[in-house]
Chains A and B, each alone.
Chain A
Amino acid sequence: MAQSLDRLRESPSQTAGPYVHIGLTPNFCGIGAVYPSDLGATMVNDKTKGERIKLHIRVLDGTGTPLKDALIEIWQADADGFYNSPAELRGAADPNFFGWGRCPTDMETGLCAFETVKPGRVPFPDGRLMAPHITLWIVARGINIGLHTRLYFSDEEKANAGDPILARIEHRVRLPTLIAERKGDTYVFDIHLQGEKETVFFDS
């Protein structure tokens, strides 16, 4: 027998369940006495650099019905393309932009509304610039392991055309599932969990 690699194995995922709000957005579900505010509810202040945008995101199941018990987290670079993270070695990110947000879907409409700034471009490992994008992570009842995808912007056609991740999508007909549609200062993005319009989800 050869030596053992002696590595541990990642803790297996389990669904966040229907009451995820109790732990992650307690104020949203009426538990107001524990934390002063829900983490990730506000992403920008009046000093944050960059173009203010809104994201209107819904998550739809295999029948096209919006989920009313999902939760979305987003992670993005600042307006100049720097992440507010120790792993960012290229320079300092905007101190007035944390880059992370969290929003439960509305219990009546299923809408997640984020207010943020449009991210700058971030390099791919080979140095090419990726198109502006926001990383999304989606959990809910019925989702056994968090779903990872990206939101790209409909008014960045040229950058999107050169994006190394979008270029990996073999079935080009699926590419629009990652492009949020601009309407004024709002980008509208529907995430389809399954079916013909199924969003491209990532394993990375």
Chain B
Amino acid sequence: MPESGSNRVPETGAFFQRDRTWHPPALTPGYKSSVLRSPQKALLSFDNTLSEISGPVFGHAMLGELDNDLIHNFARPGESAIGERIIVHGRVLDERGLGVPGVLLEFWQANAGGRYRHKKDGYLAPLDPNFGGCGRTLSGEDGGYAFRTVKPGPYPWPNGPNDWRPAHIHFSVFGHGFAQRLITQMYFEGDPLIWKCPIVRGIADKAAIEALTAVLDTQATIPMDALAYKFDIVLRGRRSSLFENRMEGN
């Protein structure tokens, strides 16, 4: 339990409703793959039951020493990945602004040249023999997290005839309830490709796109070693269950 060692009582309220006008809709035709992979019928809405309020909890025992260091976790001993060395850090918060402790974050990305270590990626930029591209960590008591990596490069993809993804890192985040489950992508401040990308532009609101854009954080850099970017992640908040109209049995 993430609560162990603290006085926190597990929260069991339902989560705030998701604002699906803020998220990208299922169908965003500029992103061609969404055309045949988007449901066309309305979603079935209901308030959370225990099945959505509960969720898996991962412990520190599963983590290896280098899991949050992509510069070294695939590299040969004494070697390291090539590219701009960066630290990515931030907090996992919920919509109430509270830190979300003890949740698993997983990240994956291309190497500095925009090449993924995946057999389906045929891009001509070479693999880096010292870079795998995956990492993971658990958020701390205040929701904080950090990992080291190299800044990924942009890469071309077969959507339009000349589409390029902005530099990005994929994030997978668990909350305390399975209904908070989220996968998203982090972009880098100032990248001109952000505003041209059909995947990004599936999001209608400019402020929502900016919420996925990490800011350069010189105060968190390690001089002569690595630059830093700050990226906070917000998960669904929970309603208080103080006045909920519940019958016995739950």
A interface residues with partner B (beta carbon < 8 Å): 6-24, 26, 29-31, 33-36, 39, 61-63, 67, 69, 73, 75, 77, 83-89, 98-100, 107, 122-128, 130, 133, 135, 137, 139-148, 150, 165, 168-169, 174, 193-195, 198-204
**Given A12-B24, A126-B249 in contact, is the A87-B46 Cβ separation under 8 Å?**
no
Contact across chains for B11 and A39 when beta carbons are under 8 A apart: no
Q: Mark B147-180, 1 if CB is under 8 A from A, else 0.
A: 0000000000000000000000010100011110
The 7 closest A-B pairs by CB, nearest first: A127-B249, A23-B108, A142-B33, A142-B37, A85-B54, A100-B56, A86-B10
Contact across chains for A14 and B44 when beta carbons are under 8 A apart: no
**Given A14-B212, A31-B74, A194-B36 in contact, is the A85-B56 Cβ separation under 8 Å?**
yes
Residue among A61, A75, A84, A107 with the most chain B CB within 10 A?
A: A75
**Given A10-B235, A31-B117, A204-B45 in contact, is the A24-B172 Cβ separation under 8 Å?**
yes
Q: Pick the contact of B57 from A17, A86, A89, A141 — CB < 8 Å? A: A86
B60 at the A interface (CB under 8 A): no
B50 at the A interface (CB under 8 A): yes
B12 at the A interface (CB under 8 A): yes
Contact across chains for A9 and B19 when beta carbons are under 8 A apart: yes
B229 at the A interface (CB under 8 A): no
* Residues of A close to B44: CB separation below 8 A: 165, 168-169, 200-203
Contact across chains for B234 and A11 when beta carbons are under 8 A apart: yes
Q: Mark B197-218, 1 if CB is under 8 A from A, else 0.
A: 0011011000011011000000
A178 to B121, CA, bound (A): 34
Contact across chains for A87 and B96 when beta carbons are under 8 A apart: no
Q: Pick the contact of B55 from A33, A85, A146, A202 — CB < 8 Å? A: A85
Contact across chains for A22 and B117 when beta carbons are under 8 A apart: yes
Residue among A8, A107, A123, A139 with the most chain B CB within 10 A?
A: A8
B237 at the A interface (CB under 8 A): yes
**Given A7-B96, A146-B183 in contact, is the A203-B38 Cβ separation under 8 Å?**
no
* Residues of A close to B62: CB separation below 8 A: 39
* Residues of A close to B48: CB separation below 8 A: 204
Q: List 7 A-B contacts (CB under 8 A).
A: A34-B67, A34-B132, A123-B249, A126-B246, A140-B37, A174-B41, A198-B39
A61 to B85, CA, bound (A): 40
Sample of 14 further A-B pairs with CB below 8 A, known A11-B184, A62-B35: A10-B16, A10-B182, A10-B234, A11-B235, A13-B23, A14-B199, A15-B34, A34-B74, A35-B136, A135-B178, A141-B37, A143-B34, A145-B20, A145-B24
**Given A23-B172, A86-B3, A144-B24 in contact, is the A202-B43 Cβ separation under 8 Å?**
yes
A198 to B94, CA, bound (A): 32
Q: Mark B230-250, 1 if CB is under 8 A from A, else 0.
A: 000111110000000011111
B53 at the A interface (CB under 8 A): yes
B181 at the A interface (CB under 8 A): yes
* Residues of A close to B11: CB separation below 8 A: 87
B26 at the A interface (CB under 8 A): yes
* Residues of B close to A142: CB separation below 8 A: 31-38
**Given A8-B234, A144-B31 in contact, is the A22-B133 Cβ separation under 8 Å?**
yes
Smallest CB separation, B185 vs chain A (Å): 4
**Given A142-B34, A144-B24, A146-B182 in contact, is the A8-B1 Cβ separation under 8 Å?**
no
Smallest CB separation, A94 vs chain B (Å): 14
A80 to B147, CA, bound (A): 39
Closest to B37 in A: A142
Closest to A84 in B: B56
A20 to B121, CA, bound (A): 12
**Given A124-B49, A194-B39 in contact, is the A13-B33 Cβ separation under 8 Å?**
no
Closest to A36 in B: B64
Contact across chains for A19 and B116 when beta carbons are under 8 A apart: yes
Q: Mark B93-113, 1 if CB is under 8 A from A, else 0.
A: 111110000000011110000
B225 at the A interface (CB under 8 A): no
B126 at the A interface (CB under 8 A): no
Contact across chains for A86 and B176 when beta carbons are under 8 A apart: yes
A63 to B37, CA, bound (A): 9
Smallest CB separation, B154 vs chain A (Å): 14
